[in-house]
Amino acid sequence: MNKNIAAIAMGIVMIASCKKDKESGKLAPSCDGSSPTYQSEVKSIIDSRCATSNCHPNYSTYDGLLPDLEGGDFKREVLVNQTMPQGSSLTQDQINTIQCWVNNDFPEN
């Protein structure tokens, strides 16, 4: 019986972590322990969602993005405030991938 209760509780936690915070409307970033790199996973997210010439021409390369990574602006706007990308939003999977990448000090390769 205890195993069933634990399984149900774990399921509730997993579902809750994928939902938006009801008060803020923001997704809760979570890292599953994976180690994405810029080249392997993050570049495609940024290229498709954040590298437009109207917003961030410097986000089209790792070197252009690095100052905002090191200064904390990228983390603040993408993961904390979730104000980027402008006029759109990232999926829970994209937020989680970026959270893992930031947790691992944003490796390039």
Q: Is the pLDDT of residue 17 over 70?
A: no
- 17 within a domain of the structure (yes/no): no
DSSP H/E element including 46: helix 43-49
Q: Point out which residues pair with 27 in neighbouring strands.
A: 20
19 secondary structure, DSSP code = S
* pLDDT (tens digit per residue) in 52-76: 656 766 888 999 999 999 999 999 9
Number of domains within the chain: 1
- Among 8, 60, 11, 54, smallest CA distance to 38 is for 60
Domain that holds residue 87: 29-103
Q: How confident is the model at residue 23 (pLDDT cuts 50, 70, 90)?
A: low
- 109 within a domain of the structure (yes/no): no
CB 79 within 8 A of CB 34: no
- 93 within a domain of the structure (yes/no): yes
- 84 within a domain of the structure (yes/no): yes
* pLDDT (tens digit per residue) in 83-105: 988 888 899 999 999 999 999 99
pLDDT at residue 21, rounded to an integer: 52
Question: CA-CA distance, 53 to 51, in Å (whole number)?
Answer: 6
Q: What is the pTM of this model?
A: 0.75
